[in-house]
């Protein structure tokens, strides 16, 4: 991307048909419109991208920001002051949709005072036909609507909107297309998310993701390696490999390659210090992957392995395709191979038909595995999923009681598990100045635990040894120690 001079692209010709050249053409075209408007206003045009949802969305937002900056916009953190506001939406829970509608109502008021302002909506929520119909009917002031499959077309869609002066809607039902080499503006200089695949084939009965993200499709390993090599050359020391289920990576490639094999190739990249990945589905976690994690010098000592429920009966209703016993066997294998691994998980409480006995099975898994931390969720009925129409929806007060009991157990175990590192020296990747105390730096251990310690911002992006003095439950207070030769 750094080598492309958009001013040399001949806009008198037709737009290229092949990607990414077609998008480079539209970036150049949109630049002219933005430049003209900037001259009329006597200032640079600004943008604000707001991300709802997962790390996949966060990575998509970096791509949106990168394209906007190439077009000539300057970032503005206050959306009410921005000339172009874009919401990258999530739809895992229905209340996420309501938040977006509420924020749009506020933006409508702002837009009436700034008629040149543009509003864009993209992401998972836009893949729902009823959402798009509602926007067309009740939110006519929105300028641009697109989904999860055609983010690469962002510059082209902006150009279409600037030329037509009308609402532009471009939703794809599905795609097998992956477009490489588009601009991206990273949030951090020293770490980055890297998509290795898109979509999901699992169809868990509570989850809308396969319907809005489409079928699984893996990126070519050469493209992934090239992207990471470029990131490392640009100062990145840690990558997070992203996919709805990274363990099934490679199944759609012409020449199949397993996730474990991909990790081995990434491990060879010089200058890369740390490799993380998420999310791992237990049904696909192979012995080969466990062996690669055991021998790796770069894969972080952290595995996020969602259980969702400890009851085999409920797991079957969830269409998770593993049993409680299989999950516990997996944990034993992982711990035998990587004894100091940090295990985290997701748990849903109150799934339709969950009995007290089912819930106690979940509590049993929590006590046996002893997670470093767990993301606990009250089941949220998601329209459009099989679980939403299941009988035996659990009363709210019962779910709340179970949730509180689970949370108490998880927190009690977490504080015990995390405290084992007290008085040890650990390698910490320094990420930022502490939010509450500017004399402290905040960093992350290989096992994903946060550490706060005295230091200065010159350390950001470096991996430094820190002695852990005091465990505060989910984080440590530490002090930096001199690096040993």
Judge contact between 327 and 365, C-beta under 8 A: yes
- Give the integer Cα–Cα distance in Å for 212 and 96: 14
Count CA within 13 A, CB hemisphere, residue 260: 12
Judge contact between 55 and 243, C-beta under 8 A: no
What would the DSSP string read from start to end of 388-445? GG-S-PPPHHHHHHHHHHHHHHHHHHHHHHHGGGTT-EEEEEEEEE-SS-TTEEEEEE
Residue 311 predicted with pLDDT over 90: yes
Count CA within 13 A, CB hemisphere, residue 316: 7
Judge contact between 403 and 378, C-beta under 8 A: yes
Find the mean pLDDT for residues 193-199: 93
Q: Residue 237 has which token pair?
A: 């020391």
The pLDDT score that the predictor gives to residue 365 is 98
Annotated binding-site residues for [4Fe-4S] cluster read 54, 90, 124, 200, 204, 207
The pLDDT score that the predictor gives to residue 209 is 86
Q: What is the largest CA-CA distance in the chain?
A: 70
Alpha carbon separation from 297 to 195, 263, 273, 292 (Å, rounded): 22, 11, 9, 10
> From the centroid of its chain, how far is CA 330?
25
Give me the torsion for CA of 443, 444, 445, 448, rounded to 10°. Answer: 160
Q: Helix, strand or coil for residue 317?
A: helix
The pLDDT score that the predictor gives to residue 89 is 94
The pLDDT score that the predictor gives to residue 97 is 85
What is the model's pTM?
A: 0.84
The pLDDT score that the predictor gives to residue 381 is 86
- Give the integer Cα–Cα distance in Å for 363 and 311: 10
Q: Residue 20 has which token pair?
A: 């990414």
The pLDDT score that the predictor gives to residue 136 is 95
Q: Helix, strand or coil for residue 167?
A: coil
Say which residues have a Cβ less than 8 Å from residue 143's Cβ, sequence separation at least 6.
118, 119, 120, 161, 167, 168
Strands, E assignment, 310-407: 342-349, 373-378
Q: Residue 65 has which token pair?
A: 């920001």
- Give the integer Cα–Cα distance in Å for 139 and 437: 42
The pLDDT score that the predictor gives to residue 2 is 53
The pLDDT score that the predictor gives to residue 484 is 65
Find the mean pLDDT for residues 232-259: 94
Q: Residue 439 has which token pair?
A: 């004399």
Helix and strand counts by DSSP (H, E) for the chain: 13, 19
Give the model confidence (pLDDT) of 400-425 as tens digits.
999 999 999 999 999 999 899 999 99
Instruction: For the chain, give the percent of residues with pLDDT over 70.
Output: 99
Average pLDDT for the chain: 93
pLDDT greater at residue 156 or residue 484: 156
H or E stretch at 341: none
Annotated binding-site residues read 54, 90, 124, 200, 204, 207
Judge contact between 98 and 104, C-beta under 8 A: no
- Give the integer Cα–Cα distance in Å for 152 and 67: 9
Give the model confidence (pLDDT) of 202-220 as tens digits.
999 999 888 888 889 999 9
Spell out the long-range contacts of 467-473 with Cβ–Cβ below 8 A and sequence spacing 24 or more: 467/423, 467/424, 467/425, 468/421, 468/422, 468/423, 468/424, 468/425, 468/426, 469/422, 469/423, 470/422, 471/415, 471/418, 471/419, 471/421, 471/422, 473/411, 473/414, 473/415, 473/418
Residue 485 predicted with pLDDT over 50: no
Residue 444 predicted with pLDDT over 80: yes
The pLDDT score that the predictor gives to residue 299 is 98
Residue 108 predicted with pLDDT over 80: yes
- Give the integer Cα–Cα distance in Å for 323 and 275: 29
Give the model confidence (pLDDT) of 352-391 as tens digits.
999 999 999 999 999 999 999 999 999 988 888 999 999 9
- Give the integer Cα–Cα distance in Å for 321 and 258: 20
Say which residues have a Cβ less than 8 Å from residue 73's Cβ, sequence separation at least 6.
34, 44, 45, 46, 47, 83, 84
Q: Which of 193, 38, 60, 55 is nearest to 120 (CA)?
A: 60
Residue 271 predicted with pLDDT over 90: yes
Least confident residue range of 8-17, 46-55, 173-182, 390-399: 173-182
pLDDT greater at residue 296 or residue 97: 296
């Amino acid at each position: 991307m750094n080598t492309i001079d958009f001013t040399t692209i001949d806009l008198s010709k037709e737009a290229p048909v092949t990607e990414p050249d077609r998008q480079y053409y539209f970036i150049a075209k949109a630049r002219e419109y933005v430049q003209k408007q900037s001259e009329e206003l006597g200032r640079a045009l600004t943008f604000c991208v707001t991300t709802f949802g997962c790390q996949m969305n966060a990575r998509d937002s970096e791509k949106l920001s990168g394209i906007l900056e190439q077009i000539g916009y300057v970032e503005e953190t206050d959306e009410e002051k921005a000339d172009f506001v874009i919401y990258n939406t999530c739809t895992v829970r229905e209340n996420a949709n309501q938040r977006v509608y509420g924020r749009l109502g506020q933006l409508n008021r702002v837009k009436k005072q700034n008629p040149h302002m543009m509003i864009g909506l993209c992401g998972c929520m836009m893949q729902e036909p009823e959402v798009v119909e509602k926007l067309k009917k009740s939110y006519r002031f929105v300028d641009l609507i697109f989904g999860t499959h055609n983010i690469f077309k962002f510059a082209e869609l902006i150009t279409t909107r600037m030329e037509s002066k009308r609402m532009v809607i471009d939703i794809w039902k599905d795609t097998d297309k992956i477009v490489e080499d588009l601009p991206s503006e990273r949030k951090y200089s020293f770490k980055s998310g890297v998509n290795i695949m898109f979509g999901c084939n699992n169809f868990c009965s509570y989850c809308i993701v396969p319907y809005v993200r489409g079928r699984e499709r893996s990126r070519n390993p050469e493209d992934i390696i090239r992207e990471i090599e470029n990131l490392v050359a640009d100062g990145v020391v840690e990558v997070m490999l992203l996919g709805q289920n990274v363990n099934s990576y490679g199944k759609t490639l012409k020449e199949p390659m397993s996730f474990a094999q991909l990790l081995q190739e990434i491990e060879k990249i010089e200058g890369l210090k740390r490799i993380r990945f998420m999310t791992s589905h237990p049904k696909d976690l192979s012995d080969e992957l466990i062996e690669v994690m055991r021998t790796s010098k770069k894969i972080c000592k952290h595995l996020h392995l969602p259980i969702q429920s400890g009851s085999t009966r409920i797991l079957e209703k969830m269409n998770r395709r593993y049993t409680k016993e299989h999950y516990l066997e997996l944990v034993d294998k992982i711990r035998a191979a990587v004894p100091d691994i940090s295990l985290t998980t997701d748990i849903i409480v109150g799934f339709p038909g969950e009995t007290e006995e089912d819930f106690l099975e979940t509590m049993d898994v929590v006590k046996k595995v002893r997670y470093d931390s767990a993301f606990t969720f009250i089941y949220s009925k998601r329209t459009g999923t099989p679980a939403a129409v299941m009988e035996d929806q659990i009363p709210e007060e019962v779910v709340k009681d179970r949730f509180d009991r689970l949370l108490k157990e998880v927190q009690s175990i977490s504080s015990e598990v995390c405290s084992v590192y007290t008085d040890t020296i650990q390698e910490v990747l320094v990420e930022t100045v502490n939010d509450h105390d500017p004399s402290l730096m905040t960093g992350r251990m290989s096992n994903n635990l946060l550490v706060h310690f005295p230091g200065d911002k010159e350390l950001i992006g470096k991996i430094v040894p820190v002695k852990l003095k005091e465990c505060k439950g989910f984080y440590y207070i530490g002090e930096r120690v001199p690096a040993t030769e």
